[in-house]
Each structure stands twice: as C-alpha cells, then as structure tokens.
Structure 1
Amino acid sequence: MTSSIRRLLAGRTAAALATALIPTTLTLAVVPTGSAGDLGVVLASELLPMLLLLPVAGVVADRHPARRVVLAADLVRAAAQAATGILLLTGPVRIGWLAVLAAVTGAGVAFGNPSVRTLVATVVPAPDRLRVNSRLAVAGGLAQIAGPAAAGGMMLALGAGWSSLLTAALFAASALTLGGLRPTAEAPGSAGSAGGPAARAGFAAELRGGWAEARRHPWFLANVLAHGVWHFAAGLLLALGPLIAVESLGGAGSWVVIAQAGTVGMLVGVWAAGRLPIRSPLHGVAVGAAVQALPLAALALRLPLAVTAAAHCVALFGLGVLSPLWETELQRRIPLEALGRVGSLDSLISFAVRPVGLAAAAPLAGVTGTAAPLLAAAALTAAANLGVLLLPDIRRQSVDRDPVRTLR
C-alpha cells in the first residue's frame, strides 16, 4: 500500500468520524433547552443545502482537481464546527445561528461528496480500488458506531461545545492528509485533462452534459432508481421498526438487538466485499440491495425476535457488500471527467429519498396499519433491484468480464 493510499484512508476515516459526531452533538445540544421542532429546523438546515447544491457540486468536481475541492470542503466544515463549538460554549443555545452553521456544514458535505469519489479514482490504481473502497466502507461503518457514543461521552463529560470542537479538529486533520496525495490518473480540471480549462463549456452545458452521460448508462439509471426504492423502504423501517419491536417483540431492548445485529452484518459485509469471488459486481449490487426486503417482511409479519434480527443482519451484510462494489463500478465504468456529475445524481437520490420514507411512515401506518406499508416496500425493493438484472448490459457481465480481483 502506497503512502498516498494510507493518507487517503486516514483522512477519510477522520472525516467519517467527524460527520458521525454531528447529528448526536446537535441533538444533545438542542433538545434539553429547545423543542423537537427546533431540532428539526437545525437538522433540516443541513439537509436542504446539501440536496440543492449536489448538482452544482458535481459540476465543480468535474471542473477542478478533486484534492482541492475536498480540501476546501473539509476546511469549510472545520470552520463551521469550530464556530458551533464556540457558540455552544459561550452562551445559551441559539437556534438561528446553529441553523446557519448547519447549513454551511451541509454545503461542505455537498461539495465534498462527489469529489471524494473522483479523488479515490485519481489516487488509487484500478486493481486496488475495490480493496480501498472496502476499507473506506469499514471506516465509515465503524464511525457510525463510534460517533454517537463519542458525542454522548463528550456531552456528559465536557459539554456539546467540546464535541463540536473535536469534530472541527477531525475535519482539519482530514484536510491535512490531502497534502501528500499523489494522483495516479489525470484529474479533472488539470491542464491536459478532458475537463481542463481549454475544453470547458458553460456551467449549464456541463450540467446537461452530466445528465446526458448518465443516460448513456442504463445500468446506472436503473440501479439509482432501484436504490431509491430501498432508501424509501429504509425510511419506513427506521420509523416503524422500533414501534413494532416495542409492541410485539418484547420492548425497546428488542430493537437494540435488531439494530446491533444489523451493525454486525454491515461490518462483516464491507470487510468481505473484496474477498468474495463475485464474478459480476453489478449482480452482487442487485442482490445486496434486494435482500433489504428481508427485515421489512420480518417486521411486517411479526416474526420472532431471533428471526427478525437475523434478517436485519443479512440485509445489512448485503448493504455492506453492495457499497464498495457500487463505488468501484462507478469509478470503473463512468469516464473520470464526468464522474462527479454522474455520481452526484446517485448521492442526491440517496440523501433525498430516505427522509421521504421517514416522513411518510406515520401517515401510511395511520391509514393501513404498520404491516401493509412494510410488506409493500419489501415487495417493491426486491422487484426493483432484481429487475435490474434483466438489463442486457448487466446480463452480459457474467460472460464478458473477468472475476473481481480478490484480496490476499
């Protein structure tokens, strides 16, 4: 492993942990003195700029060297979190200012997200990308576990402001790792690349060009739409799952068991993604997404706790396998000069649809009960993702490409 790859892994791990600290820190800071509505305003203030700016960020990612864009995004988030920490340490919670700083953080996420994918593609040689994407996914999964615990511990010991300052320090540390990266492929925005200054069209033309490039890849559009279905279903699961667990599976502790089983499955999945002898990565992606139907059906049918926990474990194992395979296929199949714009569409669907599922869960359950929405979501998730396998360019994969390189 080269020093550039080690720096990339270290930096993205720090950024993942910082990102995981933010929601818990804000929740613990706002709820004691505010209301659920105040918390919703602050969290929405981060999400909305992220969604609005992602298409713009995709163009920026394809216009400029990825390392510079990620550096700027990390520094912006570091500054926003440092200001949040100072705000929380120097006076009462001020919802308006927290919302503004959350919006700045969301903008940093939007601009960093598409460029990170391009950064990996430019720094990591093609044969090593699956391994690196798997390790990045492991780091992200561990951060999702450690972040809330660390934020809660900091809150209890020192206060929410110090948690935000720790978050700022982690983003700054991530920015520092970018200085030693050595690209192995020509980055967008460089003098000789297809996206260099001499070849640039107008912003609107480049935005349309990204959509045109996405339409050239039916496998991509079909998968993005299918993933949107399971993101919506995941919102339903997160909203209705705890309710069903409390009512029918033995109380709040049963949901903790189900959630922890899923966490174990996800970590094993991302670790195994580069080690499984998968001949056709997009087949693996489709199956990994389709098994998200299992816990939906188990909860809808009120199956025993052990069965439901096992179903969630299998589903999150599939998600763990899916994530690095999908990232690697995007980096392999999408031209580097369009990867930011095409990838931003994927991220936009991921970020936007799950909150819709969360919001729709209660109204749907109020009309039909909890079982019907979950069963419908399970059927749609399985059908949409397995249906992707019917596309000709995905069916041909098992014939015209070599097996995915496995790890030693």
Structure 2
Amino acid sequence: MTTPAASPEPALRPARSRRPEWAGRNYLLLTAATVVTNLGAHGALIATTWAVFETGGSASDAGLVAMARFLPLVLFLLIGGAVADRIPRHRVMVAANALNCVSQAVFAALVLSGTAQLWHMMVLTALCGTGQAFFNPAAEGMLMSSVTGEQAGRAFAVYRMAMQGATIGGAALGGALVAFVGPGWVLAIDALAFAVAGGLRAFLDASGTPERAPSGGLLADLREGWQEFVSRPWLWSIVAQFSVVVGLIGAVEAVFGPLVARDELGGSRPWGVALAAFGVGTVLGAILMTRWKPRRMLFVGSLCVFPIALPSAALAVPLDAAGLTAAMFVSGVALEVFGVSWMTALHQEIPEDKLSRVSAYDWFGSTALLPVTTALAGPAEAAFGRSEALWGAATLMVVVTALVLLVPDVRNLTRRASTEQEQKAEEADTADEDEPAPLVSADAEGALGRNG
C-alpha cells in the first residue's frame, strides 16, 4: 500500500495593507500635517480679531491687522515659488512652519500678558503671512509630487476633504475656545500646531524627487515659471477668471454677508450657520470627487464655478436664512469639484520641476484683487446700493466664467490616465472587504508606508 504524497502546505498569505496604493508615506505625512495646521490656523484667525478688540481696537484696526497678513502673502508668493523649485520643498515648508510657530507664540505671549499693541499685532501677522507665502507653493508642489498619476484625482479629493474638515473643526473649536479661555490661549495652540506640523513635515522624503538642472538664478527661475504659465491658455485664463471670482467672494464674505445678516436676518448666527453649510458642502464635494473622474476635467470644473455666484444672489434678494444656507451649501460642493479638477490638471500638465513656480503664479493671480475688491465694497454699496452691488458681483462671476469656457483648451483638456490602470487600482481599493484584518498592521510594515 502506497502512502499518498502529502499535499503541500499552503503558503502563508502575505498581510495586506488596507491603505490605498496612492496613499504613500509623503502623502500621509502631508495630509496629517495639513489637518493639524488647519485646526490651529482657523481658530487663530478668529482669535486674532478678538485680540484686537480686547485691546480696545476698532473694526478698522482689525482690518489693518488682516491687511498686514495679506500683503506679504501677495508680495512674496512668486519668490516663494522660485525658492521651492530651487531647494528641497520640505525644507522650505519646515522653515515656514518654524517662522509661523515663533510669530504666533510671541503674539500669544503678548496677548496673555496684556501688553499687545496694534503695531505688535501687525508685525507678527505680517511675519505669519510671509511664512505662508513661502509655504503655499512648496506645499502644493510637494503634494503633487507625492501621488501617482493614475489616482491623482482621488488622492487630491481625499486630501482636500481632510483639509476642509479640519477647517470647519478649527473654526468651530477656535470660536468656542476664544469664548471660554480667551484669544491668547487659542494663539498659543496655533503656535503648537505649527510646531507639530513642522515636525511631521521634517520626515518627508525627497529622495524620489528628480534631480533638477543647475539654475541660472532667481530671476531666471521666475522668467522660466512665467513662460510656463503664459504658454498654456487654459492656465492663465482660469487664473485670470479666479482673480475676479476670488476677489468678489472676498468682498461678499468679508463685508456684505455680515451686513445682510445683521440688518435682514436677525444677527450673526444665520451667517455663521451659512458659513458652516459652505464648509460641509466642500467636504461632500471632496467625497464626490473621490469617485467621480470627469474626462474633460477643466470643462466640468469650470461649469461648477457658476453656482459659486449663488450666495451673492441670495444675499441680494435677500433670501431667508434657510435659502442662504442652501445657496452656501451648493456653492461649497461646486467649489470643491472645481478645486479637485484644477489640482488634477496641474498635476497632469505641469513638469515636476516647475510645479512650485506655476503654483506661485496661480496663488498670486488668484489673490491679487482681494485688497482692491474688499476696499471697494463699501464705496460700491454707497454708490449703487447693497442689493445692486451684490447683483453686480453675481453677474460678473457668471460673465467671467462664461468667457473662460470660450477658451478651447479649457473645454477640451482631457484626463490622460490609463482607464485600465484606474480600474485595477479601484478594484484593489474595494476588494476583499469581508477579509479578516491582516496579522501584520500597516504601521508594522513601515510606519506610514512607502513613498508615493
């Protein structure tokens, strides 16, 4: 009698991380750090205004402090973009976080000690704005370099969902803490958040970044970035469009919205609820974009700019609080669809070594009109009336959006990612959901995973 051959012992099934392929080490570090900074920074914006009021400052003084933060952001953005394409981006980000940490810590100490004066607050917020001018282009370039092309849209949507969620939470938590413990402690928390985020970003891995050719100097870098920017009609036309759109949104949210809420809706609470609805809309828009990958991404994104005019129209009527809240919610969803589509287009079309410079021109163009439109909001109301000024803002947003759709590249730029690769990646993300948890955790396989 022969003994049957023993069947081979089944090979141990390797533990499988449930983390998606596109969520590499750098991506997760960047997302975690952004959540931390947004939680602190949006509470600090509220705390800064209240710090001005607690020292006896007026609304005009609060405006001066806000302007002191904004001007360096505009002035140094282009230089920040060039610097971020010259040296490792994560070093620029860590240095900017360190500057923000120190400036906010000093600001907090002055407020807590009761010695803060207006010029102190202006100088310290100006330092914070300078840090952001160097940070923003570096962060955008680093994020775009951290994800794979096939799943870039989904990665950006998840990133923006986390960012917007932290923004809502930070504003809500900051407002509550200002009321309970005072603005000084909220500013101190913001300083701590910058320290933690800077520590996370120090662990970013730049080894996978392609080596950059020797530079001809800062001015040469700026010229090269400008050539890259103006050579793409879809890029400069949408930035020009958003220069107007962002400027008008700034005037509506900073000036007209609070005024209408005070005079027509019974106070600040309806406006706060409407802003919260906008935030919820951005989160849901980001969730939508984790699944939806429109082929003509800029065309779809630009169509979604039309609903952004709804809050201006709602305030012009004015609608009741429920109508305004609904308009803000819809505009939040629409804005996030555009935002993810825009980031995906930049990731696909702009060379990696020029991402930060192009991002700087994008940031600069999109924010350049903000001080002008906010300054003219009051005179426009006096000259034309509040309702007329708001209808004018809504109409202008619609007109510039319609004009940008006349640009062929905006209508026709298509997603080039492989459909087959995307399908395989999506199947890998959703397969085996009923499997037991792996014996080896993602953390044990290598902290935050491999570099994406």
Q: 2:307 aligns with which of 265, 278, 291?
A: 291
1:373 and 2:389 correspond:
yes
1:223 and 2:238 correspond:
yes
Q: Partner of 2:100 in structure 1?
A: 77
- What code does the residue aligned with 1:58 have? G
- What code does the residue aligned with 1:16 have? N
Structure exhibiting the larger radius of gyration computed from Cα positions? 2
1:203 and 2:210 correspond:
no
> Which structure is higher in RCO with an 8 Å CA cutoff and minimum separation 6?
2
Deviation sequence 1:167-211 (CA, Å, 0-9, x none):
111111111112332347525xxxx323xxxx2112222212211
1:67 and 2:113 correspond:
no
Distance, in Å, in 1 between the alignment partners of 2:152 and 2:321 is: 38
Larger helix share, 1 or 2 = 1
Q: Partner of 2:289 in structure 1?
A: 273
Distance, in Å, in 1 between the alignment partners of 2:120 and 2:258 is: 32
- What code does the residue aligned with 1:327 have? M
1:133 and 2:156 correspond:
yes
Deviation sequence 1:366-394 (CA, Å, 0-9, x none):
11112222222222212212332222223
Judging changes above 3 Å, is the alpha-carbon distance between structure 1 residues 360 and 176 closer, same or farther for their aligned structure 2 residues?
same
Instruction: Return the offset for 1:146.
Output: 2.2
- What code does the residue aligned with 1:21 have? G
Contact 1:82 1:164 in 2 (8 A): yes
Judging changes above 3 Å, is the alpha-carbon distance between structure 1 residues 269 and 369 closer, same or farther for their aligned structure 2 residues?
same
Instruction: Return the offset for 1:157.
Output: 3.8
Q: Partner of 2:338 in structure 1?
A: 322
Instruction: Return the offset for 1:39.
Output: 2.3
- What code does the residue aligned with 2:224 have? G
Instruction: Return the offset for 1:398.
Output: 5.1
Q: Partner of 2:258 in structure 1?
A: 242
In the TM superposition, structure 1's runs of 4+ consecutive aligned residues that sit over 6 Å from their partners are: 399-404
Residues 1-12 of structure 1 aligned to structure 2 (within 5 Å): 1-12=23-34
1:118 and 2:141 correspond:
yes
Contact 1:279 1:402 in 2 (8 A): no
Instruction: Return the offset for 1:59.
Output: 0.8
Distance, in Å, in 2 between the alignment partners of 1:6 and 1:119 is: 12
Instruction: Return the offset for 1:159.
Output: 3.4
Residues 244-259 of structure 1 aligned to structure 2 (within 5 Å): 244-249=260-265, 252-259=268-275
Bigger mean CA deviation after superposition, 330-339 or 219-228: 330-339
Q: Partner of 1:26 in structure 2?
A: 48
TM-score if structure 2 supplies the norm length?
A: 0.82
Distance, in Å, in 2 between the alignment partners of 1:320 and 1:246 is: 28
1:388 and 2:411 correspond:
no
Distance, in Å, in 2 between the alignment partners of 1:23 and 1:219 is: 33
Bigger mean CA deviation after superposition, 101-110 or 327-336: 327-336
Contact 1:246 1:254 in 2 (8 A): no
Distance, in Å, in 2 between the alignment partners of 1:283 and 1:46 is: 34
Instruction: Return the offset for 1:114.
Output: 0.2
Bigger mean CA deviation after superposition, 113-122 or 321-330: 321-330
Judging changes above 3 Å, is the alpha-carbon distance between structure 1 residues 158 and 302 closer, same or farther for their aligned structure 2 residues?
closer
Deviation sequence 1:30-65 (CA, Å, 0-9, x none):
202221233233222211111111111111011111
Instruction: Return the offset for 1:216.
Output: 0.7
Instruction: Return the offset for 1:333.
Output: 1.1
TM-score if structure 1 supplies the norm length?
A: 0.90
Deviation sequence 1:52-96 (CA, Å, 0-9, x none):
111111110111111111111111111111222222233422222
Distance, in Å, in 2 between the alignment partners of 1:91 and 1:307 is: 42
Instruction: Return the offset for 1:260.
Output: 3.1
Distance, in Å, in 2 between the alignment partners of 1:279 and 1:184 is: 32
How many residue pairs match? The answer is 400
Unpaired stretches in structure 2, ≥5 consecutive residues: 1-22, 431-452
